[in-house]
Amino acid sequence: MNDANFLQLYSEAVLTSLSFFWKALWAFILGYVISSAIQVFVTRERMQQSMGEAGKGSVALGTFFGFISSSCSFAALATTKALFKKGAGFIPSLAFLLASTNLVIELGFIIAIFLGWQFVVGEYIGGILLILFTWLFVRFTRPNALIEKARRRLRNREGEHEGEDEEEVPDWKEKIKTIDGWRQVSRKYFMEWKMVWKDVTFGFTVAGIIAAFVPRSFFQTLFMGAGSGGNPSFLAILENTIVGPVAAFFTFIGSMGNIPLAAVLYSNGVSFAGVMAFIFSDLVVFPVIRINAKYYGWKMAFYILAVFLAALVSTAIALHYGFSLLGLLPQQATGTSPSETERFAIDYTFFLNMAFLIVTGILAWLRFGGEKKEGGMHHGGGDKGIIERLLFWLAIASYVWLAGGLVVSLFVSP
């Protein structure tokens, strides 16, 4: 690769990363506004009282509360830990965790933008299937002693913070009318961004790099049947659903940052099942395993990992063949890279971004404008160890890479 070719690809990678983020910005803002409002106006105490031992009602309520509490993986892990510690059943707690990271409003918006409606339907149906398969596998393996040991470990820990900053008004209908209620929404909104900005920055940057630099032959080698067209064999589908989580494990990016990477995989011919397995893998990456080990011990962390892996592989395969049977399977990608689409235009994306940036400005005024600062805000689940520091420096390196590419793009002809 000569210097001119590298600079051309460098420019292409950076412009692709930025166009990915520009395309998704309004959906991020809308999703986090909705998520933040729900977190403020729905109390955790009501969830704890409803999520008893495993049963149809408790699992359904855990799923529902997870859906309305949608958040990034780290925040969901902390809330799940708090619910389990206060007496919520193990299976309803896992249902809450899976729902709050997969049945996610903002994730659906991003998937619709990058992958299309079939993947959105797959995401939400798959989220339900993940919970059902997890319930089945836990019931089959009966880890009762492990569950009790994990609960005792949590209750014996000292200095736990539950992450509450809800100065509650008893009735949410009254709270929603108060400026203080919406000030709490603004705090939650910026907390959401604080928890995901590193993942999003690095994820979108890597997606652009892969789209520009990685040849199609690489994906055909890594994923059996990628780009071959026609109906892949069951062995190829199974291999794709296993390689997808392995690829996600090594990227260790949260679900929101993984979606543009999933779009790159799909544009290079990876099967529907493989892409869905990759998307569902946000709870089997190393930072999540490490946090679960800190909460429950390594034995329970590896047990949860094994159950989630089995559930997501089963879910991805069931979705693939279910969609195929119903004629809903999306057409195999033809190899058109997302980087080849029109990037920055005065279209609906531009006007939606402007509108929601104004919403962000209003929330910023509520959060930072003139009122006394609230103290003691705990972010519930941020990993403060080596992984978090690594992600921080990877995000900084991403900004340097993006800035350099913008400079290069001024001197490289399109």
Question: What's residue 335's pLDDT?
Answer: 44
Q: Where are the alpha helices (DSSP H) in 252-297?
A: 255-267, 272-279, 286-296
Q: Is residue 164 classed exposed, middle or buried when 0-12, 13-18 and 19+ CB atoms within 10 A define those classes?
A: middle
The residues spanned by each domain of the chain are 3-153+168-409
Q: How far is Cα 135 from Cα 130, in angstroms, rounded to an integer?
A: 9
Sequence-ordered list of residues with C-beta below 8 angstroms from that of 348, at least 6 positions apart, any chain = none
When pLDDT is cut at 50, 70 and 90, the band that residue 197 belongs to is confident
Average pLDDT over residues 177-194: 86
Q: How far is Cα 284 from Cα 262, in angstroms, rounded to an integer?
A: 16
Highest mean pLDDT out of 197-211, 235-249, 377-391: 235-249
Question: What's residue 57's pLDDT?
Answer: 81
Tokens (6 digits) for 193: 């961004």
Residue 202 Cα distances to 246, 254, 399, angstroms: 18, 10, 9
Residue 101's closest CA among 314, 371, 308, 266? 308
Q: pLDDT (tens digit, 9 = 90+) per residue, 330-357?
A: 876 544 444 444 567 787 889 999 999 9
Sequence-ordered list of residues with C-beta below 8 angstroms from that of 325, at least 6 positions apart, any chain = none
Residue 306 one-letter amino acid: A
Question: What's residue 239's pLDDT?
Answer: 94
Question: What's residue 199's pLDDT?
Answer: 79
Characterize 211-247 residue by residue with b for buried, 16 or more Cβ atoms within 10 angstroms of its Cβ, and e for exposed.
bbeeeeeebbebbbbbbeeeebeeebbbbbbbbbbeb
Q: Is residue 43 classed exposed, middle or buried when 0-12, 13-18 and 19+ CB atoms within 10 A define those classes?
A: middle
CB 232 within 8 A of CB 271: yes
